[in-house]
Amino acid sequence: MSDDDDREGGGPPDDLPPTGPHDVAPGDEESGEGAGESIPSFEEYKRAREEGRRTGGWTPFGADSEPEASGGEEGEHEAPEHEADAGSGDETDHEHEHEHEGEGEGEDTLPAPSREAGEDEGGDTLDGIEPLQGVELPSEEDDWQPRRFDEHGDPITFEEQLAEQATDVLPSGFERSDEEIQARRAAAHSRHRRNGRIRLLILVAVAALAVLLIVDEVGGGGSKPKPKPPVKSAAVLPTSPGRGPSYLMKGSDPSVLPANVLIADWGARRLLVVSPQGQIVWSYGVKSIYGSQFNPDYAFFDAAGDTITITEESHSIVEQLRVAKPKVLYRYGHYDRPGSKSDYVHDPGTAITLSDGTIVAADIRNCRVSVLHPPSHFHAHNLGHVGHCVHSPPHHYDDPVSAFPLRGGGLVITELSGAVDLLDSTGKLKATFAVPGFKRPFATNMTPQGDLVAVDHTRPGGVEIFSTRGKLIWHYAPKLGQRELFDPSMAIVLPNGDVLVSDDNDSRVIVIDRDTKKIVWQYGHLHRRSGAKGYLYLPVGVDLVHPDSLLDGFTTAVAPG
């Protein structure tokens, strides 16, 4: 039978034996080798297969050797004889199907190919599948035998071989013996004990050092110097250099000032220190102890620069303010409660602390100059008498608005009526005269050259320098323009001869050149009152910062006794 005939008849593949009549191609019943032989039934085929498995070998019916490759007539499988009635093939198919359904699941119905000569009969193969090449499997009868033995001849188990392989892969020292583990634990415990002893020794040493320090502190410490406390950053003081933006008027010359300037800004309720460059250096502007407003009129440094003596005319009090960490150290008078008894003043003008610590305060409405001795709240003595407001120095004064020291002792007192009175250290009157051309002279004080300077507290205001005999030396009183003064309250002659002026109602502090009579330095804005940076609001008092303050030129000044 040719290949074409086999494909057309739908015969079985060349490598499988026929399994029944339904595998025989039509027209092949009487042809080929073995014709006329009976084809075993399915039951016979199954029994033969089982028997072959038990005996160790099995060959399909009619197959004495491995079939040759298809393609020739001799190599083809010879189909078994079909049943006589070719038309009964369908019935036989159905019968075989029913018989197959009756078999257990998984039972193989395909015949296994025959083994070649010399093949290990004890080996196992899958039905219809060639044995795996290069793989040796154990027989069904024998268990797996280990291939390696230890030094005693005992077989090495599979688990032991795996452990060996793991030991080869892992780094040396990964597995440790019980002795090694115990040794390592003992070493760890020893380290812990040693560290504990070290910590205990450190604690004992620290405690001993602390005891020694305490004993040294209590017992005097011997000759060893005590450690100095850590240096803190310098506090911001009125003497500190200026930082930040400048608020000077355009054209100002900072070189005309020898030091920072202290300003009592009445309307802005603050003390303010500005540098010659117009930078804000220091300020103080809290509410008073009674929770009321702070309105400084005049403010001056003491001889040491430690405190500032302040008057609040509108609130009838005199205060001493500590400069470092500002705090009120002394207060004379009662807030908004004017009076004439001890610990009372009535609208004080100026107040200044002399080198001996006494305070000289011009008590305007009580018509007296009071000499105070902090911390006492009693008058040491008074110049003038309450209720006798007439110009009759040294016994009576007409509303004294200021009192400043003189070199060699004594005071210069300015009366609101226009008179200037000079007293010696004993209180004896040395001179009295009116300031030439002034209507309301304010704050007459001594210049570095030994003359006197005063302002005319009116509009247009003025500044004059005159001798201790009342002779006019220099006069400044423009009537129009930006150089005009409006109620000036204070003037101080600088070491270079120029004049520092608080132009009260013009809300500015200025420096006037004595030769050109021009304003060469200005802080604040003309006619523009404000508490903002670069602005002032009715500045009354003015002083230079220690050691260039007004009082620094009068270190030996004392009040009349």
Concatenating the DSSP letter of every residue in 11-53 gives: PPPTTS---SGGGSPTT-SS-STTTTPPPPPHHHHHHHHHHHH
Identity of the amino acid at 18: P
CA distance 444 to 490: 8
Better-scored residue on pLDDT, 416 or 144? 416
Quote the mean pLDDT of the chain.
77
345-362 residue pLDDT tens: 999 999 999 988 999 999
Range 339-344 contact pairs with CB under 8 angstroms and sequence separation of 24 or more? 340/366, 340/386, 342/377, 342/378, 342/379, 343/377, 343/378, 344/316
Q: Please give the span between the terminal C-alpha atoms of the chain, in angstroms, as a whole number.
A: 161
- When mean pLDDT is compared over 126-130, 144-148, 321-325, the highest value belongs to 321-325
pLDDT band at 208 (very low <50, low <70, confident <90, very high): confident
20-46 residue pLDDT tens: 444 444 444 444 444 445 556 666 767
- Cα dihedral: 222, 224, 225, 227 (round 10): -110
Residue 101 has pLDDT above 50, yes or no: no
Q: Count Cβ neighbours within 10 Å for each residue of 499-508 and write b for 16 or more, e otherwise.
A: bbbbbbbbbb
pLDDT of 140: 46
Structure-block tokens of residue 524: 């604040």
430-446 residue pLDDT tens: 999 999 889 899 999 99
Residue 3 CB partners (closer than 8 Å, separation 6+)? 70, 71
SS3 letters across 204-265: HHHHHHHHHHHHHHHHCCCCCCCCCCCCCCCCCCCCCCCCCCCCECCCCCHHHCCCCEEEEE
Query: For the ranges 66-70, 366-370, 483-487, which has the lowest average pLDDT?
Result: 66-70
pLDDT of 80: 42
Concatenating the DSSP letter of every residue in 124-175 gives: ---TTSPPPTT-----SSS----S-B-TTSPBPPHHHHHHHHHHHHSPTTSS
pLDDT of 266: 94
- When mean pLDDT is compared over 113-117, 200-204, 247-251, the highest value belongs to 247-251
pLDDT of 105: 43
pLDDT band at 147 (very low <50, low <70, confident <90, very high): low
pLDDT of 541: 96
pLDDT of 408: 81
Q: Is there a contact between 479 and 449 (Cβ–Cβ < 8 Å)?
A: no
pLDDT of 14: 46
Once rounded to an integer, what is the mean pLDDT over residues 161-190? 67
pLDDT band at 116 (very low <50, low <70, confident <90, very high): very low
pLDDT of 72: 41
Once rounded to an integer, what is the mean pLDDT over residues 470-487? 94
Residue 424 CB partners (closer than 8 Å, separation 6+)? 408, 409, 410, 430, 560
pLDDT of 64: 47
Query: For the ranges 23-27, 154-158, 390-394, 418-422, which has the lowest average pLDDT?
Result: 23-27
CA distance 545 to 33: 141
Residue 221 has pLDDT above 80, yes or no: no
For residue 122, the number of C-alpha atoms closer than 13 Å in the C-beta half-sphere is 8
pLDDT of 158: 66
Q: Is there a contact between 443 and 449 (Cβ–Cβ < 8 Å)?
A: no
Longest Cα–Cα distance in the chain: 176
pLDDT of 15: 47
pLDDT of 44: 72
Q: How many helices (H) and strands (E) does the chain have?
A: 5, 24
Give phi and psi for 102, each to the nearest 5: -75, -15
Q: Count Cβ neighbours within 10 Å for each residue of 91-107 and write b for 16 or more, e otherwise.
A: ebeeebeeeeeeeeeee
pLDDT band at 555 (very low <50, low <70, confident <90, very high): low
Residue 227 has pLDDT above 70, yes or no: no
Is the C-alpha dihedral spanning 504, 509, 513, 518 positive or negative? Answer: negative
Once rounded to an integer, what is the mean pLDDT over residues 327-355? 94
Once rounded to an integer, what is the mean pLDDT over residues 118-139? 46
Residue 370 has pLDDT above 90, yes or no: yes
pLDDT band at 47 (very low <50, low <70, confident <90, very high): confident
The reply to whether the predicted model has a pTM over 0.75 is: no
Where do the domains of the chain lie, and which CATH numbers do they carry? 1-153 (no CATH), 254-553 (2.130.10.10)
